[in-house]
A = this chain, B = another copy of it.
Amino acid sequence: MQIKVVRDVLDANKAVAEAMRRDYAAAGLFVLNVMSSPGSGKTTLLQKTLAALAGRLRIAVIVGDICTTNDAERLSKSADVPVVQICTDAFGGDCHLAAHVVREAAAGLPLQDLDLLIVENVGNLVCPAEFDIGEDRRAVVLSVTEGEDKPLKYPLMFQVCDVALLSKVDLLPHLDFNMKLCRQAIQDVHPGMRVLEVSAKSGQGMDEWFGWILKQVAAKKQ
């Protein structure tokens, strides 16, 4: 019974997401959905990303949280780009962003004048993976503080994403984290998945991440 209900919700969500994808394609807009556990460093990563790319692309950000506007405030300070905060406590404290909620938030943005819309999803390694929000590509951020077995324990998130960012690698000297096992776990659940090792703090791997984004946006324009 419960599973039946969830499927209905997901079907309805999918229909909205597909309409969004058509509209955004018509506007020449590339949409990137960034997902992770709470505290993986998504916002810091995106602050650096905005600072690096805002001069090259016309960007906007939609950020989802259950409560607070902390992340939108942090992102607004990083670059002169429009930022919209969604607080899902207005929607029953939802643990993910749903397509119609993102569409509503995006409606206030100048979509025709943008190249890239980044959606920072609610911090949750489970539920957001199930909800298409009309995006072109999906990125999962896994902090190396979380342990190398997480791709095996949360396989759907790694299966639905196009790229995995292993974040906070500046902390590796202080952790018992086996990078080889983590990379193997990712390949076990998503063979061929692109993996980037990054630190927003030290800058390691960040140019590769910026390059990945630029390439995706350029491919969409063609």
Contact = CB atoms under 8 A, between A and B. Distances in A.
Nearest to A40: B146
A130 to B, nearest CB: 8
27 contacts: A3-B91, A3-B92, A5-B5, A37-B37, A37-B38, A37-B123, A38-B125, A39-B143, A39-B146, A39-B150, A65-B153, A66-B126, A66-B156, A67-B154, A70-B152, A70-B153, A93-B126, A122-B126, A123-B125, A124-B124, A124-B126, A124-B127, A127-B127, A143-B145, A145-B168, A171-B171, A174-B174
Interface in A131-161: 143, 145-147, 149-150, 152-156
A67 B174 contact: no
Contacts of A68: 149, 152-153
B2 A38 contact: no
Contacts of A152: 67-68, 70
Interface in A87-127: 91-93, 95, 122-127
A219 interface: no
A95 B92 contact: no
A92 B127 CA distance: 12
Contacts of A146: 37-39
Contact of A2 (B92, B171, B174): B92
A145 to B, nearest CB: 4
Interface in A64-87: 65-68, 70
B150 A38 contact: yes
A182 to B, nearest CB: 11
A136 B3 CA distance: 28
Nearest 9 pairs of A and B residues by beta carbon: A39-B146, A95-B126, A145-B145, A3-B92, A37-B38, A37-B37, A38-B125, A39-B147, A5-B5
